[in-house]
Structure 1
């Protein structure tokens, strides 16, 4: 039988006094080894299962927050700043989550501040009366405010990011753009725009220098149409005043020189020359008086004392004042005004309005003609006063300009009749000051009718009222 044999000597000091011998069959030893192997295998399996469970637990605790933070970071990159990273511990992952949340809060706050500043800047630019266009170095539009869009007819979804030449097709503006880039400094020029409406624009080009890119240009666009129109009106007004003053002064000077040259000795001619010079001085006086009245009205220096007035006595007094001129011109005056009609007006200014209208009608009505003053109440609580004549009439093309200062349909005849060209302009301003309306109808060869609409008496209480500033249109 195979045995496992072991011998151990027994010593007494340095002398061997015996030997202990043990023997065990190998089958018993082999059986013990099998049991030991089974126990070791079972222990290894248990240890592996415990290690796997511990690994799963640890991995879950570590990797789940990292995955969550990765997803949250992805959402933040997409602009969702309301999300927050979970903080479940005080370890490094918790510190990372807290730092990420603080960063998101600050980033969201900065973006809100930037959006608020951008909205403020946009509101300021859109509220400007000037158009603003910013163009980069590649000639692409960076910004257009609402005024610029309206000026050039650009829609709200067009402009930014597109080529300047594609968005605004105006050769003069592109020429200004190129000249502004070449100048390198502030550059100004005016241009005329005919679409979508006819207007005059003043364009100021200023360099736009942005860090790291080629310089662009900022175009500031002012609409100076009304300013240029007023300058033209002023120039025309000065020219007209100069002409109106020069004409009688030249005549007066000529007749006085003739008198000083010896015509004083001829009494018949001398008297006629003096009478002519006197008539021209009267014309100068009327012109200066009308200019003073018109200036005071436009500056608001004239006050109206509004009160209920019966209209018929005012009309009668005006016709009486003009009667002598009408008789000289063989013109018949008529009044068709009821005693019951009254208006809310300033007495003196109403007389001035009617004298201007009736006097004009008499001047331009030939002998045998008729001038009629009519009045009727309207459904709107106003009174329509009409001055009609059977005169030469006015061409339709001239009607819109009749109330302009110094505008005359027949300049030679107007001066011959002593007109200053300011009467209807004064009438228009006085009527507007009474909260009224003025309308003129005419047909060549058949006569003219001027209609004035004024508030009926009782429409307003007595009031002290200054004339309003007139509109810019003259």
Structure 2
């Protein structure tokens, strides 16, 4: 209603003014002196003020402050908002959209009046804004759907340059993803295809044909590719002069051309029509429009333009369309219940329909029908699968409980109840994890005493259940439970409970068996060490007496020969006993070494000198080469010499007559020192190399072995090398020789350069 100052009588308003007073939009009029001359009831309603409030006569500044403080200008400082409103130039038309403090949106329009002053209108556009937001969301969803389409889609502008395309566009064309870029011309696309597929005649023909296509008109074709695939290319012109091209792999259709043509015609027919049945009724409830999809979905109950809705409902009732107990009048009334929620009904032929009604501005309404039979069946099948999954979940040997991102139960099986100590009425969907933990703590599932409480509090404060973890817990009855948590893509997690009591028992038994085996091995090692010491005493006597006999000139030559054989055998047996003693020390973990800086060439020369005589007898050349100014290494001289002697002896022993053994010493790239012993001998099969370092192993196992030995040389050499901080490796191949590489640590500090070991 219009308002006037208390000092002035209210004149009778013209019809137009009365209409403005009752209009559903806010209307205010200011005169040339910047005073309010008219305000309708909608203005007071928007201000949330009593209907009898007097606004007439107030200045624009007063009304601007009132509007700002009532929240119509949105959040913020009301004084600042009012001042901004005052700065608007009212001598010109002005329009803006603003959001009130309560979240609703309004359009504000200001128009100047001929005699000075202005009129201002405001009306709510919240629904329009929400519709725009929904449209943006739909566009985002359409963009997402485009990216995941299996059909390749390329959008070109009027200059036939690529504007947008999805990933499938390149894949279907046989191009590597990322090949095409926005702005690529059609010619460049064809060049990429030729580069990818080659200049095959089908490709060249396809490219030439595509270049001749008139993109201003619809085009549809199927073309073969050299790889046996067939592509369907559909081009549709766009209003801006560009065109939309879709490319689809239709290889199966190519194999049945007649069927493919039929399906293509069907597809074009489907694309030409809406996917849902639509019919429109006017304000008199008579049918004004119906599409082909509606007639097809409701075959047998088709409509004719001009039919009245009530007559149609009664006719369908008579035909049994609605089923028993449902009248046409009831269906007629439901057409005007615009709840926004679709209704479902099942036709006599079993078709499931989804029906939605919406009012139209002219007083009529629209009716949309969709055939959701497949969806209905899919939901039934999904429910069946859910029941099967539930049965599987209930029969698992693990307890499983699924939690959402808010730590609330979504689903669980019965075994989860047993292993967690909770009841079925407690671990229900919606129950919070903290509540379940509290119940477990009260029942002693975390144990008893301060330790249990500390563990319970720590899990609440420090551990995020959504993180991946696994731990064990012993229940009050002694059952050992393994609990694991794994995150789910939606931010929740799945918790699995496993009874590992028996597994723990078996593991304990295996650990006990391992300890027993280790004790037996230790006893064997001690026995070897003891027997080695016990054998040395009489063996030393044999060696000593043999040496004494060899110095007696009174003995006959035959006795001296026997004494020499006894001495050689005794020394060989003593060497074997020493090796066994060293193996026993290694097995017991007692292999003391005292490393110090050594001049490596001196030790090498000493070892080569000791082996040279054996090499000459075997007619094997033995050479050595050392890097100039070789740094010193960290090693124990006796152990290092034994390692080198073992390597050199093996190399000479397994090298045939006329072969050679070459020894080198150099600085490695990492600063360490390397010794390489390379021979031209019989070599070792690569698959047998790991066994070469095992104790008492002879890779030649026949009874008439050509090469003797105890099989301890390489084992001891690697053990000594590792004890000194180095490493020993082998490279070999059958009949191609063997290369042994010894890596030694470099001495950390410079020392005097005396040429001794």
Q: TM-score, normalised by structure 1?
A: 0.46
Q: Indicate the structure (1 or 2) with the bigger Cα radius of gyration.
A: 1
Structure with the largest fraction of helix: 1
